[in-house]
Chains A and B, each alone.
Chain A
């Protein structure tokens, strides 16, 4: 491979092999977590956020679209799953389907509205739409406003797996995460992914080649929103509640932060970023309000010192694609 002068490495067979090795490593490491004494609740929570960040990264890292409203998919799926499980008494698998389908429908509509605008305008529209939803959820009776939906039954997945058992729940969440991660990976390396990257690189040129770029961006938005929703549905089983926190704009900000810290436009960056941020919230909880300040400092340091993010810097150093 020739020397690279810029951040992004072209995908080569070697790069794909590297990525599959790292994926295998990640899967094994995550699979042995229950045997290590690490608090599984923390890892499950981190996996849900890692998936949201990966979905977000699909949109910005490969489509060049900065959504500042991705919490709306996380929160909407969370509320809908929670409602389906608790009020309609649906089994877990259908609860997940309801939440994911709600995020899918939301992504179709919000994507259609926002995708026609570029750059900061796109970000502002996604932010405005998510704020709109936030206030709807604040008022709507089924979300129970400030209280949120509490005490959600976890049930038995497919009537077999008892999700109230932490270890079983852990492996179900892990399987969901790995499956969705592979789908994102495939999307990035698909014929569609090639067009998406070309739109990110030079949209005018893609149009002049006959691509109706709005349609591609819309599909990327729908995929991203649906997968973020899937993560939100999984998270309901972990947290056993659905609250306004997950639709608040600060959550959208955290998703951006996770992706930036880990490495924008890298395959594994958002996963690492999510674990770093969730670990900070978990283990620095003793500092109270200062956690936000510490996060802010890390964010500034990240932007100033290692702009490619953790994985981005590692990949750049080894001249690999990760």
Chain B
């Protein structure tokens, strides 16, 4: 089982003072898949996402990653297990250059991150790998640009490059295409498709059409629980999904 499903949740629930943002969600993410979590505003997608990445503590339920219970594991430790997240608002280090952004991710595994007496020139040995990663996402020309000066779409790409630097087994992407123009959406979608050859991806998305061509499996959330799950072809015929998205009157 653990080999087939990289991430599983059982009865995942998050209650905020009587309000159930996420209720009894059981997910199974198959290794190597792009799995999308979609739903209308307020469906609990981001809450669910924050539970999976441990930035929120669930009220009930368990989370298994590669068969190991990570329900009570700290966020930094989850990242070390190879389960790495992105953020809805592009999460880069604005005053570090693109190269330095990626390098911060690379240096962690090499155990010198507490060395305050060493020159940071020891980090130059990561430059080659960092440039490779930037190149992979089409950012080599931005290597020496501070992230704050990069266009929005490029920041998202930089975020993905930084995540890839950790060599994760699974990536959790929080609305990777939010706030982007069509051109950027296509670029990032192509990038996600390409990296999915190596990694399992769970992405949260607001827009069904964005994930239509990208995902192997789509889970639809409404009001905190799972409404339906299946391929895009299945779901597009499902009346309940149409209703959830368009409202009862339009169904």
Contacts and interface: CB of A to CB of B under 8 A. Distances in A.
Contacts of A201: 93-96
Contact of A223 (B87, B116, B123): B116
B107 A197 contact: no
A209 interface: yes
B22 to A, nearest CB: 20
A190 B119 contact: yes
B117 A186 contact: yes
Interface residues of A, number: 36
Contacts of B93: 197-198, 201-202, 205
Q: For chain A, what secondary structure do more than half of its interface residues adopt (helix, strand, loop), or is it mixed?
A: helix
A195 B107 contact: yes
A209 to B, nearest CB: 5
Contact of A187 (B86, B116, B146, B149): B116
Contacts of A10: 95-97, 100, 144, 146
Contacts of A212: 74, 76
Interface residues of B, number: 43
Interface string A181-199: 0010011011111110110
A289 interface: no
Interface string B84-116: 111100011111110010011101100011111
Interface string B130-163: 0000000000000011101100000000000010
Contacts of B112: 191
B25 interface: no
Contacts of A209: 79, 84, 104-105, 108, 162, 166
A216 interface: yes
Contacts of A197: 93, 95-96
Interface string A13-50: 00000000000000000000000000000000000000
Nearest to B108: A210
A221 to B, nearest CB: 12
Given A219-B116, A223-B116, A204 B91 contact: yes
Given A211-B108, A211-B113, A191 B79 contact: no
Interface in B176-200: none
Nearest to B99: A10
A212 B80 CA distance: 10
B220 to A, nearest CB: 26
Nearest to B146: A10
Contacts of A186: 116-119
B116 A6 contact: no
Q: Which of B96, B144, B145 gathers most chain A CB within 10 Å?
A: B96
B33 to A, nearest CB: 21
Interface in A202-247: 202, 204-213, 215-216, 219, 223
A122 to B, nearest CB: 19
Nearest to B113: A195
A37 B117 CA distance: 37
B100 A194 contact: yes
A202 B92 contact: yes
A194 B79 contact: no
Interface in B36-88: 53, 55, 74-77, 79-80, 84-87
A216 to B, nearest CB: 7
Contact of A192 (B55, B87, B91, B116): B116
B233 interface: no
B84 A194 contact: no
Contacts of B237: none
Nearest to B104: A198
B122 interface: yes
Contacts of A192: 113-116
Nearest to A184: B116
Nearest to A201: B93
Contact of A205 (B87, B97, B100, B118): B87
B120 interface: yes
Given A204-B91, A206-B104, 18 more contacts: A2-B145, A2-B149, A10-B95, A10-B97, A186-B118, A190-B117, A191-B107, A191-B115, A192-B113, A192-B116, A194-B103, A201-B94, A201-B95, A201-B96, A208-B75, A209-B104, A209-B162, A216-B114
22 contacts: A2-B145, A5-B148, A6-B148, A10-B96, A186-B116, A186-B118, A187-B117, A190-B119, A191-B113, A194-B123, A197-B93, A197-B96, A204-B91, A205-B93, A208-B86, A208-B87, A209-B162, A210-B79, A210-B80, A212-B74, A215-B114, A219-B116
Interface of A: 2, 4-6, 8, 10-12, 183, 186-187, 189-195, 197-198, 201-202, 204-213, 215-216, 219, 223
Ordered nearest first, which 10 A-B pairs have the shortest CB separation? A210-B79, A205-B91, A192-B116, A201-B93, A187-B116, A8-B95, A210-B80, A212-B76, A198-B104, A198-B93
